[in-house]
Amino acid sequence: MKAFLSLFSSSSSTSGDEFVEDYNDNFDPSKCDFGSPTTSDTTVEESSSNCHTTAQQPNELRRYKILVVGDSGVGKSSIISSFKSGDFNESTSPTIGVEFLEKTINTVDGSFNLKVIDSAGQNMFRAIVKPFFRDIQGVVIVYDITDQKTFDHVRDWIKLTNDYAPDDVKIVLAGNKKDLEEDREVTFVDATDFATKNNVIVAETTAKQANTIDKLFTDLVERIFKRLN
């Protein structure tokens, strides 16, 4: 399986060093379970659960994992690229397995370090993607507003999420490619109706406008934060 995993990018708005520094502000060694030796990466990862005070600190950096799923070609990688750097590419290659982006964002609720997992939409990679539902706090299910069948499959992606993700995971639907209004097959009314019935939220996005993508992730983070606090 490892052969299919690749590192998409390191944090674009916060360097790894800044991340560790921020994190250490809240470090409480008395809460650490140092256990067996780990690599430096996993030490930082473990400190998230074992070594930090639970009381909210003003400069606390919270860490959430967000999985992005949906049919092949709906624009998952483009959304993530837009979130990373604001870039849009007309011609992309299908994702093989999963890729990662780490980025820190600031919201009214504070700073959040997000590990965003981009997944392959092609069926042949489903078995590789499934384990990545396991310890996420949020999932973005993307469909293409110009392709009805990608919206019909949202039901299947919700089922996968319910089957494999933690019970309290927060889901947002992203109706992507809203710039292609003339080719629209899925109305926003139908999407909101479906979202309400399934107790999730929906937003329409275009990877061509980074502000629509930033809002998507900010809304999801706020929902996760409100659940956890």
Ligand X SMILES: Nc1nc2c(ncn2[C@@H]2O[C@H](COP(=O)(O)OP(=O)(O)OP(=O)(O)O)[C@@H](O)[C@H]2O)c(=O)[nH]1
Going residue by residue from 63 to 82, which x/- string records binding to ligand X, judged by CB under 6 A?
A: -------x-xxxxxxx----
Query: Which amino acid would we find at residue 209?
Result: Q
Figure out which of the listed residues 10, 59, 89, 211 binds ligand X, where binding follows CB under 6 A.
89
Binding mask 172-211 for Mg ion (x = CB under 5 A): ----------------------------------------
Residues in region 111-140 near ligand X by CB under 6 A: 120-122
CB neighbours of residue 157 within 10 Å: 21
- With respect to ligand X, which residue has the nearer C-beta, 63 or 153? 153
**Secondary structure class of 98 (helix, strand, coil):** strand
For residue 59, the minimal CB distance to ligand X (Å) is 35
Residues 131-190 close enough to bind ligand X by CB under 6 A: 176-177, 179-180
77 is a site residue for Mg ion (CB under 5 A): yes
Whole-number Cα distances in Å, 178 to 75, 91, 131, 198: 11, 18, 30, 22
Q: How far apart are CA 199 and CA 80, in angstroms?
A: 24
Question: Across the chain, where does the E strand assignment appear?
Answer: 5-7, 61-70, 98-107, 110-119, 138-144, 170-176, 201-204
**178 neighbors 209 (Cβ within 8 angstroms):** no
78 touches, from ligand X, Mg ion, none (C-beta below 5 to 8 Å by class): ligand X
Q: Output the smallest distance, CB 49 to Mg ion, in A.
A: 30
CB atoms closer than 10 angstroms to residue 211: 11
Query: What does 89 bind: Mg ion, ligand X, none (CB cut-off 5 to 8 Å by kind)?
Result: ligand X
Residues that bind ligand X (CB under 6 A): 70, 72-78, 89-92, 94-95, 120-122, 176-177, 179-180, 206-208
